Chain A
Amino acid sequence: MSFLTRNLAIREPLLISLLVLLAIVSFAFTHAYSQAYDARRNDLGQKWFEHGNQELAVNQPAAGVEAYRTALSYMPQNWECRLRLAEALVLAGQTHQAHEYFAGLWQVQPQNGTVNLQLARLAAREGNALEAERYYNGAIFGNWPDDSRDRRRDAVFELIDFYLQRHDLRQAESQLLTLSANLPDDPALQTRVADLFMRVQDYAHALDFYKRAARQDQHNLAALLGAGKAALQLGDYRMAESYSARALHEDNGNQDAGNLLRLAQTALQLDPFEHGINSSEKARRALRSFEIVGARLDACDQQRGKSTSSTPANAPLISSLQKWNQWKPNANLTSLAHNPDQADELFDFALQAEQAIQATCGQAAVYDEALLALVRKRSAEEK
């Protein structure tokens, strides 16, 4: 080099050319070296990532966390691995670290549906309603890699469940209505939505979706049973009887369906306001209810013993007993048949007394349940 650099006229360009050449050679060497290293790192990263997946598959989240961390040391920018590590931290019960980790991921991809959903779950677990709501909405409107419609719908289901756990029926119903507006014709989904409508006490929507599901799949036991229950809640005992009978037809041994059928039939037998019945039938049903309540009052009185006369909590029961005794002399089929208003009053008393009995002694038989269903129907009608 010194020979070449002796000639000053060519020294600088020559030196620069030599340096460029040296740089190219060094670059080539370093490139080959770093490629080999990258390949090795990638192999190791994949190996540890798989190891982490295996640990999670055998329910060893702590080992999974360690494996994912190791994998991340080889491929620090691997999003999937980072996500799995955060999920493993949740499974390992390291919620604080998991939260920090997910928060870090959220900073990178605030629209990521999975990250939002996980953060929502953590916030819900910590009881942070505001944050949970925010992240659930992030998950609902966020980006999902595949099956985005299903994943978003699942997020809505979780949000509804979250509201239900917090007894916020209004918010839950609002989400449910939005969700139900775009529901595909899938009986399982329709049944699921109808179940949730039942939980938010929107029986009309519940019945509607149970019926849709039952139309799609006529052997859908859950839909048939649900429709029966929703119909019962709405006071449509005929429909309740019909759906519960179909449910029982689908599964003979289904106890729920059997109970529901009995209940619907009993309610039908006891309901004096059913359309198309004459005054003597109405009187008969009112009197029957009165007698059932009388027997229940006696039983409840004996069950409570002396305490019935003392505590303020028992006051409605005592009052009902006294009223029942007052009603008893006039409660006969002939007078009630001639006086439909009196039959109505007697029936209303029977319903009130049933409520008092239920409050003191609890529910006893299918009759009580039927009477209570009638109570609900009557209150709904009055409203």
Chain B
Amino acid sequence: MSTLQNVTPSTPQPAPEPQKHPSRARSFSRRLSGKFQYDEDRFFLILAVFIGIFAGLAVVCFRITMEWTRLLLLGSALTPSTLRAFLAPSLTGLFISLLIFTLCKDARGSGLNQTKAALYISDGYISMRTVIGKFVTATLAIGSGHSLGPEDPSLQIGAGLASALGRRLSLSRKKLRLLAPVGAAAGLAAAFNAPISAVLFVIEEVIGHWSAGILGAVVLSAVASVVTMRWFLGAEPFFRIPPVGVIRWEELAAYAVLGILGGLASVIFSKAIGWLRPRLKSTPARLQFFYPAVAGLLIGFIAFAGFPQVMGAGYDYIDQAMHGQFAWQMLGLLVLMKILATTLSFASGTPGGMFAPTLFVGAMLGGTVGSVEHILFPHLTGSIATYALVGMGVLFAGFLRAPMTSVFMALEVSGDYSIILPVVTANTFSYLISRRLQHTPILELINRQDGLYLPALEEEREHEVLSVENAMRPTPSIILLGEMTVFEAWGKVKGSAETYFLVRSEHKMWFCVAGEDLHRWAEANLKKVLNDAVGNKPLPYLHPDQDLEEALRLVSKWPQIPVLSRADISQLLGVITLSDILEAFKNSADDVNLLEGPRGD
């Protein structure tokens, strides 16, 4: 994605009528017009703030509607009655299917992949029908107790609103494409009450690569949306985080165990979804119609079996787990039950996100490890809440494979820097195990199951960036000096297999001369030194660490480019030519194919 550029408005400004004696008022008006001249780049940043506000408002309405729905369908008790637990998710599942199959087909899924697909396939276009459809269906699904979260739909709603607004304002196609991630970050930030994590998540999972061009707009919209959301819903996090306190070094071992278990849980979670989803999707459409209802019925059964906590997003239960309200056995069972319930809900095509379930599973897993640690090593005083919080980050790193977001999320939610060490320790284990056992991240896997191949930051991180030093050849044996005469130079290069030769002038500038030219000048008996013969346009130069793409741009104009030391600009380290660059790219491609083969699980 390119950086923001000035764009000339498509509609020309009408020429002002000629005035013999322009009045003072008119001159003021003209100056004012000049001041307020439309600048799409500047307007884009202002628009980002408005997108943040609108996305924040939409998310507030979304959450409130979801809560109303829950009250209506599941009742006001924390644990729904058996009848409601069975009927609400199953019957609502049927209604959701009806909506999806008849009115808003694109409302299926979490919303995260759909937003990314819209960004890369349709220039960020998300229809208002999809936005409304996602709002209604996700509200019904989560409100009725399906094991899904509101964050990913909020992300899509934010992106959709931004897209619709951009279209209404007749922004250029380039800007329209940029608006989707801006809206996505705003939606997610408002849904999770964490702007930094939202920005990072959108960069890691939606945009798929680092882009300085829209970072400012994304941050602005995320902050605006969080401020808006807090205006209505308050600044309190969805779960209360007790102070982390001092982490003892012995506890790092427990956090490493949490990381390992989190990595394994992430793999189980990913494999379960990756296995069930394509199987359900491959069945006839008439059967698919009933899957959300069946998933709802099964979730009702899980609730009936003693685990009503798996219903809905589950933030209240995360709070309880953080405050030691569950025994470790219960916490462990909740990990498994939530994975099962979310797999059923998500694979059935019910609209809703995986963000909250991931946090739920992570919190319960962290709580389990923390509780067991307290039993085995009572002298260690780390609170269960800290383990639960680290557990959330662990699942984020392992399951969603967003390692940076996972660290910042734990930091942002806890507001305590002392959590960094356990989070990084645990996340590293989780991420490495998950990568080892589940090569393709879950979001990418889902994309591929849908036939989409979209860029991912993880791929970019793994992608080897070739630099000049990977392609340059050593310093040539023949270096001509500017003060040499043409005859001396020809005498030096005569018989050499090289076509071009470097000339170093007395001002330490580099020139290039062809052997053929030297031969011609010598035959013509040219009485000149090379400084005068090669002209006054020196060669550009490169340094070994520069990107090979930079070198590619230069070698199209010059046959070879000198590579100079950054420490001593007069020191020639080598030269680079077009054939060297092409050879380096070819070797790199061979290495990738040899080592990795095609990606996929």
Contact with A along B44-63 (1 / 0, CB 8 A): 00110010011001001100
Contact (Cβ within 8 A) B242 A104:
yes
B168 to chain A: which residues have CB within 8 Å?
A: 1
Which chain B positions have C-beta within 8 A of A33? 60-61, 64
Least distance between A127 CB and chain B CB atoms (Å): 13
Of A66-74, A295-303, A316-324, the segment with at least 4 beta carbons within 8 Å of chain B is A66-74
| Assembly CA distance A27 to B13 (angstroms) | 34
Binary flags per residue of B70-85, CB closer than 8 Å to A gives 1, else 0: 0100001111000000
A69 to B78, CA, bound (A): 7
CB interface residues, A 12-30, toward B, < 8 Å: 12-13, 15-16, 19, 22-23, 26-27, 30
Contact of A2 among B47, B170, B233, B242 (CB under 8 A): B170
- The one of B37, B61, B169, B233 that contacts A5, using a Cβ cutoff of 8 Å: B169
Q: Find out whether the CB atom of B384 lies under 8 angstroms from the CB atom of A100.
A: yes
A181 within 8 A of B: no
The reply to whether A97 and B76 contact each other, CB–CB distance below 8 Å, is no
List of A residues within 8 angstroms of B76 by Cβ: 44, 47-48, 70, 74
In the assembled complex, how far is the CB of residue B307 from the closest CB belonging to chain A, in whole angstroms?
15
Number of interface residues of B (CB under 8 A): 44
Determine which of B60, B79, B169, B384 lies in contact with A34 in the assembled complex, contact meaning CB atoms within 8 Å: B60
Residues of A with C-beta under 8 A to B249: none
Q: When the two chains form their complex, are residues A9 and B13 in contact, meaning their CB atoms are under 8 A apart?
A: yes
Q: How far is the CA of A5 from the CA of B11 in the complex (A)?
A: 10
Closest A residue by C-beta to B47: A19
- Docked pose: A115 CA to B324 CA in angstroms: 17
The CA of A19 and the CA of B484, in the complex, are separated in Å by 71
Is A365 positioned at the interface, with any CB of B under 8 Å from its CB? no
Q: When the two chains form their complex, are residues A12 and B36 in contact, meaning their CB atoms are under 8 A apart?
A: yes
Roughly how many angstroms separate A252 CA and B384 CA in the complex, as a whole number?
Answer: 62
Interface residues of B in 12-68 (CB under 8 A from A): 13-14, 33, 36-39, 42-43, 46-47, 50, 53-54, 57, 60-61, 64, 67-68
Given contacts A34-B60, A107-B243, contact A8 B37 (CB under 8 A): yes
A100 and B325 contacting across the interface, CB-CB below 8 Å: yes
Inter-chain contact A97/B324, CB cutoff 8 Å: yes
Question: A61 to nearest B CB, angstroms?
Answer: 15
What's the nearest-Cβ distance from chain B to residue A75, in Å?
Answer: 11
Most buried by B among A47, A74, A104: A104
- The answer to whether A34 and B232 touch across the interface, beta carbons within 8 angstroms, is yes
Taking the complex as formed, is A11 at the interface, i.e. its CB lies under 8 A from any CB of chain B? yes
Do the beta carbons of A12 and B54 come within 8 Å of each other?
no
Number of interface residues of A (CB under 8 A): 43
A-B contact count (CB 8 A): 100
A104 to B242, CA, bound (A): 6
* B169 and A15 contact, CB distance less than 8 A: yes
Measured CA separation A31–B384 after assembly (Å)? 37
B240 and A104 within 8 A (CB): yes
Q: Indicate which residue in B78, B236, B319 contacts A70 across the interface (CB closer than 8 Å).
A: B78
- Please indicate the chain B residues that have their CB under 8 angstroms from the CB of A7 in the complex: 13-14
A76 touches B319 (CB 8 A): yes
User: CA separation between A234 and B170, bound complex, in Å?
Assistant: 101
Residue B323 is within 8 A (CB to CB) of chain A in the complex: yes
| Contacts of B243-283 to chain A: CB distance below 8 A | 243
Q: Which residues of chain B have C-beta atoms less than 8 A from A69's C-beta?
A: 78, 316, 320
CB <8 Å contact, A30 and B232: yes
Contact B170 A37 (CB under 8 A): no
A77 interface hit (Cβ, 8 Å):
yes
| Cβ contact of A31, chosen from B14, B78, B232, cutoff 8 A | B232
B60 close to A96 (CB less than 8 A): no
A341→B176 CA distance, assembly (Å)? 118
Question: CB < 8 Å: which of B11, B42, B64, B68 contacts A8?
Answer: B11
Does A101 reach chain B (CB closer than 8 Å)? Answer: yes
CB neighbours (8 Å) of A58 from chain B are none
A6 touches B (CB below 8 Å):
yes
Q: Quick check: is B476 within 8 A (CB to CB) of the other chain? A: no
Q: In the complex, which residue of chain B has the Cβ closest to the Cβ of A102? A: B323
On whether the beta carbons of A9 and B36 are closer than 8 Å, the reply is: yes
A10 in the interface, Cβ–Cβ < 8 Å? yes
Residue pair A13, B36 in contact (C-beta under 8 Å): yes
Q: B-facing mask of A80-101, CB < 8 A → 1, else 0? A: 0000000000000000110111
Q: Are A66 and B79 in contact (CB under 8 A)?
A: yes
Complex CA distance for A103 and B316, rounded to whole angstroms: 18
Contact B57 A100 (CB under 8 A): no
Cross-interface CB contact of B38 among A12, A23, A101, A104, cutoff 8 Å: A12
B9 within 8 A of A: yes
1/0 contact string of A36-75 vs chain B (CB within 8 Å): 0100110010011000000000000000001001100110
What is the CA–CA distance of A101 and B242 in the complex, to the nearest angstrom?
Answer: 11
* Complex-state Cα separation, A47 to B75, whole angstroms: 13
Asked if B37 and A23 sit within 8 Å, CB to CB, the answer is: no
Q: How far is the CA of A219 from the CA of B236 in the complex (A)?
A: 58
Within the assembled complex, what's the spacing in Å between the Cα atoms of A16 and B165?
A: 12
Of residues 262 through 279 on chain A, the ones whose CB sits less than 8 Å from some CB of chain B are none
- A8-B232 CB under 8 A given contacts A16-B46, A33-B64: no
CB distance from B48 to the nearest CB of A (A): 11
Q: Are A15 and B325 in contact (CB under 8 A)?
A: no
Q: Which residues of B contact A70 (CB under 8 A)?
A: 76-78
* Min C-beta distance of B81 to chain A, whole Å: 13
**Structural contact, B236 and A27, CB atoms closer than 8 A:** no
Contact B54 A23 (CB under 8 A): yes
Contact call A6/B11, Cβ cutoff below 8 A: yes
Q: Which residue of B lies closest to A69 (CB)?
A: B78
In the assembled complex, the Cα of A40 lies from the Cα of B68 at a distance in Å of: 9
Provided the pairs A13-B36, A23-B53 are in contact, do residues A100 and B323 lie with their beta carbons within 8 angstroms? yes
Q: Which residue in chain B gives the minimum CB-CB distance to A48?
A: B76
The reply to whether A37 and B68 form a contact with Cβ atoms under 8 Å apart is yes
- Residues of A with C-beta under 8 A to B79: 66
Query: In the complex, A15→B170 CA distance in Å?
Result: 11
**Docked complex Cα distance between A12 and B36 (Å):** 7
Q: What 0/1 pattern do residues 367 to 402 of B give for CB contact below 8 A with A?
A: 000000000000000001100000000000000000
Closest CB in chain B relative to A87 CB, distance in Å: 15
* In the complex, residue of chain A having the shortest beta-carbon distance to the beta carbon of B32: A9
Please give the distance in Å from B26's CB to the nearest CB on chain A: 13
Out of A6, A16, A101, name the residue touching B325 (CB < 8 Å). Answer: A101
Cβ A104 vs Cβ B54 within 8 A: no
B43–A73 CB distance below 8 A: no
Instruction: Take A15-B43, A33-B64 as given contacts and tell me if A9 and B54 are in contact as well, using a CB distance cutoff of 8 Å.
Output: no
Least CB separation from A97: chain B residue: B325
Judging by beta carbons under 8 Å apart, are A10 and B64 in contact? no
When A30-B60, A33-B64, A70-B77 are in contact, do A12 and B320 touch as well, CB less than 8 Å? no
Subset of 8 A-B contacts with CB under 8 Å? A1-B168, A8-B37, A12-B38, A12-B39, A70-B76, A97-B323, A97-B325, A99-B324
- What is the interface of chain B, defined by CB distance below 8 A to chain A? 9, 11, 13-14, 33, 36-39, 42-43, 46-47, 50, 53-54, 57, 60-61, 64, 67-68, 71, 76-79, 168-170, 232-233, 236, 240, 242-243, 316, 319-320, 323-325, 384-385
Q: A2-B170, A40-B68 are in contact. List 16 more A-B contacts (CB 8 A).
A: A1-B168, A8-B9, A19-B47, A19-B50, A22-B54, A30-B232, A41-B67, A69-B320, A70-B77, A76-B236, A76-B240, A97-B325, A100-B323, A100-B324, A100-B325, A107-B243
